[in-house]
Homo-oligomer: A and B are copies of this chain.
Amino acid sequence: MKKLINAVDDVVREQLEGMASAHSDLLKVHFDPNYVYRADAPVAGKVAIISGGGSGHEPMHGGFVGMGMLHAACPGEVFTSPTPDQMYEAAKAVDSGAGVLFIVKNYTGDVLNFETAAELAFADGIRVQNILIDDDVAVKDSLYTAGRRGVGTTVLVEKIVGAAAEAGYSLDACADLCRRVNQYGRSMGMALTSCTVPAAGKPTFELGDAEMEIGIGIHGEPGQKRMPMSTADEIAEMMALEILDDPAYSRTVREWDNDAGSWVDKFLVDEPFQAGDQVIAFVNSMGGTPVSELYAIYRKLAQVCADKGVTIVRNLIGPYITSLEMQGCSITLLKADAEILKLWDAPVNTPGLRWGI
């Protein structure tokens, strides 16, 4: 294992220290329990947006803390869910009284721990919402998930809902928007190589020199299929069509009801893409693939979208939700209405995404 790290046990702490040192104008880091939070939190009158998950996906989530995006992020150990006390303490630190929205990627550990944190925060008098991100069309159920995994749409959700909070949306309005953006987004990923979790010291899985894994998860968990290595065009087209042709997807999610003080089930149906849709297209590096190769993927993606009558109106291309040093990419398409586009274009100032400031 060759990485720019010191002792394996210190990897997350030291990366957070580096981040705090580099971006003290934007964020602070609290240790034990670990969370990253806006330097100016709590922000008076504004709903606080919090996310979190295992480390190893940087810049997500810690790198998205700042004006117009997250108020706090809770990093677990590498590829390991953060604990409820991280989320609960982060909520107390950044709640302004307007409530806290937890953006939760759909992995079993994350879901359980954010639910516990929501109950703890509510018991303290903080109004909370828990919204699930489950956008990965590759697999239904996986190593760490019941239902679809939460992947690339998370980055877009955090930008859009972060802008809504900044604009003064109420907690319920932020939650409704978050749910809708998740329902509008679909993703799929692929890997050329494995990644190596520092504590494991060896690659999570093995891929032959002429093989690739389609539908890979962001923790290296198995995807749909292992195939012979193919061209950028074939890979982009295969992933784009899985997303664009994905039928309606329905499932029941659990959300918090602040009035009843209990969990409620909601039945959700994500409608498929259709000709005439406008989308934000996000081509993401898994960490080890350089941006030059992402442009080869984007080139074909744009052609496939055009053929389907889907218009790309914004794009994001680069390493934003990574799997350590894994080589590969993911594609996310997000149906964007006027409200979503306006929020996407709003100023943001974080280590990982910045414009307008």
Contact = CB atoms under 8 A, between A and B. Distances in A.
Interface of A: 2-7, 11, 14-19, 21-22, 55-56, 58-59, 63, 192-193, 209-210, 212, 229, 231-233, 235, 287-299, 302, 315, 317, 319, 322, 324-325, 327, 329, 351-352, 354-357
Given A59-B291, A299-B21, A317 B351 contact: yes
- Please indicate which of the listed interface residues A18, A58, A59 has the most CB atoms of chain B within 10 Å of its own CB: A18
Contacts of A212: 2
Nearest first, the 3 A-B pairs at minimum CB distance are A18-B295, A18-B299, A4-B293
Contact of A209 (B2, B56, B293): B2
A210 to B, nearest CB: 8
Given A11-B296, A18-B295, A19-B295, A288 B325 contact: yes
13 contacts: A2-B210, A2-B229, A5-B293, A14-B232, A14-B296, A21-B302, A22-B295, A59-B291, A288-B289, A288-B327, A290-B319, A290-B322, A355-B355
A4 B329 CA distance: 9
Give the number of copies in the complex: 2
A4 B299 contact: no
A199 B154 CA distance: 37
- Please indicate which of the listed interface residues A193, A291, A351, A355 has the most CB atoms of chain B within 10 Å of its own CB: A291
A296 B231 contact: no
A232 B4 contact: yes
Contact of A22 (B15, B287, B298): B298
- Please indicate which of the listed interface residues A5, A210, A229 has the most CB atoms of chain B within 10 Å of its own CB: A5
B18 A298 contact: yes
